[in-house]
Structure 1
């Protein structure tokens, strides 16, 4: 199915608007409409998981920026948020099921530990790849 990825991002923004406002976090979008082929509900779920994670780790009063950059035969969906840097040794495992950079979050009942693994499986099912950078 062909769908506009930008429209799916906007739906996720609407869903998280109240939580972002509560934490005084601004949600920004850069990019034009971008027609892609795939399952729009699955893409929305992946964006939902990524944005939920970004909101959880963005300090109050800061901004999260989502950008779509169309290339010739693919696109980049980039989610940027300020926050505490992730140590290098954790980056390669971030999309593993149940992996947590901070194990104490498991006891606090925050998240299931599979959100980023779900993102990875959705993206790979659509012949894409995920990556993370932290500095």
Structure 2
């Protein structure tokens, strides 16, 4: 839940008024996926490899205004991986971002 909450908080925080934030749950044969999409500013391609690093912030000036510490995505990734999952991001400048959490289904009774 904390990982999904972090992604949703970021989507809301960085999507301007009148924009859209959506959450989609998909169930596959072996995994469950949570997709959080927004119509925010997007993340520059050169920044994408670093966004899951602790304390890394894409927009340093705006992050200080919002009180961001740069830990949310790092925590989200860590928690997802501890549960045997993975997290992916697709982002386009001026169009927004989509983060997807993939978690394996629990096969134990």
Q: Normalized against structure 2, the TM-score is what?
A: 0.78
Match of 2:18 among 58, 61, 67: 61
Structure with the bigger percentage of strand: 2
Tell me whether 1:104 sits opposite 2:65 in the alignment: no
Q: How does 1:25-64 map to 2 (within 5 A)?
A: 44-64=1-21
2:71 aligns with 114
1:21 aligns with none
Task: From the CA coordinates, give the structure whose radius of gyration is larger.
Answer: 1
Shift of 1:106: 4.5
Tell me whether 1:93 sits opposite 2:93 in the alignment: no
The farther-off stretch of 55-64 and 117-126 is 55-64
Structure number with higher relative contact order (C-alpha < 8 Å, ≥ 6 residues apart): 2
Shift of 1:114: 0.3
Shift of 1:109: 5.4
Structure with the bigger percentage of helix: 1
Structure 2 gap segments, 5+ residues each: 93-109
Structure 1 gap segments, 5+ residues each: 1-43
Q: State the 4+ residue runs in structure 1 displaced beyond 4 angstroms.
A: none
Output the CA distance in 1 between the equivalents of 2:62 and 2:18.
22
CA-atom RMSD, angstroms?
1.3
Count of aligned pairs between the two proteins = 92
Output the CA distance in 2 between the equivalents of 1:109 and 1:81.
18
Output the CA distance in 2 between the equivalents of 1:108 and 1:85.
18
1:40 aligns with none
